[in-house]
A and B are shown apart, each in its own frame.
Chain A
């Protein structure tokens, strides 16, 4: 098959660009352990409101300073409405929905996950900049979708200095139904 020289060069360049894209993704995935939230755990949506864990949403600070945030996303709010987490520590978010699909997006960060009824979403992240963040639902969930929001407050934890921030996240246990 005849291919013009210039087009050949172009095709090699296109191939090189794709290789660079793939390599950078391979590096961040394998080298930096950067993964999108892909937790696999199921839960009966009918039991969410009475569930031991999700029926009592809130923030738990662990001994090592890390935090676990349990969130219930439902039409058309998040519980808790205000989430306070320590700066510079691992924060593990665990959430689910008793009704339809929602989104959980901490605006201007890469904290972003879908919340699907029947499944538990979970991701661990860290906030280095203290302040107030806006959390919004970013998946259409009905006529009140645009009012579904919450506030995240990142604050300096008491006794932050000297405490070592563990890489391992949270004491969040799997399968709490």
Chain B
């Protein structure tokens, strides 16, 4: 049973609201890039909306959804209410106020710095303060979650931490290590600089601290999606989890490897020595391993589901899966896209090949497969499962819910393929108008931006379906006796093996050592250089 239903729903509703606004922004952008003349289409509105889309989707939608989902997992899997619901509510308020501040200055046009906010582009101070509050709120969530687990552990000595909680604890450790980087950037460098307390900032140091945060941020999104894939989807499919210890192994590996990799986002930066870039590149490629393991384990779990329903042939177990249930189809389609996105990611992080795709449209093609589908579509599908169980209302407009994942998949296929190809053909990302004064080379991108716009239309329809189903369910769904939230049983029964995978204190220390190994020396060397800071610019 879920004790903190209201708290969980409060987090989900903020996530859904952010998603709705950001989807509208995205629709406008994909049409704009195809050079369609829209009312109010100007460069400053475009770049403002790219900022709003990035911040609301990547930071607000994800963080609030993950916080709400974390509370569900903790209470359901540990069978006890979270500790200090007051702190949890306080964290929600702090994160919400921060989000409101940042969103207000973005929409006001005073913070068109994109979600990466690289200085010396300088936003209004409230943008940085708002972002910091969002992170502080999420730290409160981490504290509540960790304390709840510790309290449970004390009351249940010798009992193995349930797998979904294991995955959420890995998420929390990744998040704590990641946010040290962005907290240092925002609190030490950017807030004093935007307030005029200091005159200049070192843009490269800020970039380094941002990507210390920016890559594990990706795993902060992906890990909860993995928790869903491993522990909820196999159950929805009617099967069992193929391997519990390998799921734990994947979580631990991701926890260790997600932070010491940030320089692969800075492969073509000046001022960073090649050796450090290579070291981070190597670490990045190792992250492929836990994702390969996940692909096998989760698909094998689906096969078990198909076989339990009587499938005998080589592949006909696929037909037995509940493709009409959006909570399942969304995850299955999300995983398919993640496989492609994963290989693309290996290319992005490849030391040499990166230069062909760095900051081209390829990149947005890539991360709309990973965060934009693997994570976002999984979260949408999971809301179809959780909302009726949390609100005690039947899913409304369920036909829309059924087609929504397929619309997303189709739209993203068009959007992403088109952007990968135009990116390979050299089209830069984040441009309002890619015609470059009628340049012949730029003409080659026109077909791609057109296809991408069609994809954007489908994605917008899909997003609208999702929001309609959520609002319909929350406001007008028929009252029902909610079914329980259940996690998949492992195939191998009780799994007392590999207890070392549950040693979170140990893994936290190892992960911290890896972060120090990856960053301490390059940052120290950097600080010793003769450096010249930059004043702020607001060319928007």
Please give the residue numbers on chain A whose beta carbons come within 8 Å of chain B beta carbons, in ascending order: 1-4, 6-7, 10-11, 14-15, 17-18, 21-22, 25, 28-29, 34-46, 75-76, 99-101, 103, 105, 107-108, 110-122, 133-134, 136-147, 149
Contacts and interface: CB of A to CB of B under 8 A. Distances in A.
B271 A116 contact: yes
Contacts of A147: 436-437
Given A116-B203, A134-B439, A144 B358 contact: no
Contacts, number: 223
A142 B537 contact: yes
B286 A141 contact: no
A99 B281 contact: no
A113 B534 contact: no
Given A14-B293, A118-B203, A143-B47, 17 more contacts: A1-B249, A2-B492, A10-B293, A14-B289, A29-B351, A35-B274, A37-B270, A75-B539, A107-B425, A107-B441, A113-B268, A118-B202, A134-B441, A138-B359, A138-B360, A142-B539, A149-B437
B43 A18 contact: no
B426 A2 contact: no
A2 B498 CA distance: 9
B271 A142 contact: no
A143 B429 contact: no
Interface residues of B, number: 77
B267 A100 contact: no
Interface string B481-508: 0000000000010000110000000000
B176 interface: no
B521 interface: no
Interface of B: 43-44, 47, 50, 112, 114, 118, 120-121, 202-204, 207, 242-243, 245-246, 249, 266-274, 277-278, 281-282, 285-286, 288-289, 292-293, 296-297, 300, 346, 350-352, 354-356, 358-360, 425-434, 436-437, 439, 441-442, 492, 497-498, 529-534, 537, 539-540
A108 B350 contact: no
B246 A3 contact: yes
Nearest to A122: B270
A114 B539 contact: no
Contacts of B114: 140
Contacts of B202: 118
A7 B274 contact: no
B288 to A, nearest CB: 6
Contacts of B432: 145-146
A69 to B, nearest CB: 15
Given A1-B498, A38-B270, A136-B436, A21 B289 contact: no
Given A17-B288, A108-B441, A36 B529 contact: no
A122 B270 CA distance: 7
Contacts of A133: 441
5 contacts: A25-B285, A38-B277, A110-B355, A117-B203, A134-B439
A45 B272 CA distance: 18
B44 A143 contact: yes
A21 B268 contact: no
A60 to B, nearest CB: 20
Contacts of B530: 42
A146 B269 contact: no
B285 A18 contact: yes
Contacts of B433: 146
A105 B203 contact: no
B532 A11 contact: no
Contacts of B355: 36, 110-112
Given A1-B497, A7-B297, A39 B270 contact: yes
